[in-house]
Amino acid sequence: MYTTNFISRSIEIRQERESDFAEIRTLIKTAFMSAQHSDGDEHYLVDRIRKTDEYIPELTLIAIHEGKAVGHIMLSKIWIGNTVALALAPLSVLPEFQNIGIGKSLIKEAHCKALKYGYKCCVVLGSPEYYSKSGYIEASKFDIHAPFDVPDKYYMVFPFVETGIPAGLVRYSNAFIL
């Protein structure tokens, strides 16, 4: 059984590099095979986002254990009304490394960097049980709304700042549109 200490001792988190892309593709595909909700497109989504202006290499991170990529997170640009903000998608951890804090650590590190770059908030579509553990709140409470039909509780936001969070309808990169 791995422990939290394992993360600090054995997991390195850093920005992804082009030489990691093939390994990351396999990682995402493998992680989502066991996911409750998946359209099987997540690894392609990452490839598509990387080709757009909405890709932010500095906010796309991997977790490495003994030279192997075991987790990945991508935050990319979206708009809330007319203001640029971030979306978290996707987040992936290899099945044998799940539930030991790697996902939470990736989110924390990505949030820290996003704040330094001046972003105001990050939205996510996903499990409220999971993302609330990292501080995500229903986006509708901030008058932030998804451009698709989804029950409010599954569409969340993490505010990086106390004031000045943009409100309105979210617009995604074309990379999200199949």
Residues that bind ligand COA in the complex, under the rule CB under 6 A: 31-32, 35-36, 90-93, 98-104, 126-127, 129-130, 133
Q: Which is nearer to ligand COA, 91 or 144 (CB)?
A: 91
Q: Which is nearer to ligand COA, 122 or 163 (CB)?
A: 122
Query: What φ, ψ does residue 46 adopt, rounded to 5°?
Result: -60, -45
Q: How far is the CB of 82 from ligand COA (least distance, A)?
A: 27
Q: Are 92 and 31 in contact (CB under 8 A)?
A: yes
Q: Which is nearer to ligand COA, 81 or 95 (CB)?
A: 95
Q: Can you say whether residue 105 is alpha, beta or left, with left for phi > 0 and alpha for psi between -120 and 50 degrees?
A: alpha
Torsion of CA 101, 103, 107, 112, to 10 degrees: 40
Residue 166, preceding peptide bond in cis (omega within 30° of 0):
no
Q: How far is the CB of 110 from ligand COA (least distance, A)?
A: 12
Q: Are 87 and 52 in contact (CB under 8 A)?
A: no
The residue with its CB nearest to ligand COA is 103
Q: Which is nearer to ligand COA, 12 or 164 (CB)?
A: 12
Q: How far is the CB of 114 from ligand COA (least distance, A)?
A: 18
H or E stretch covering 11: strand 11-15
Q: How far is the CB of 163 from ligand COA (least distance, A)?
A: 28
Q: How far is the CB of 51 from ligand COA (least distance, A)?
A: 22
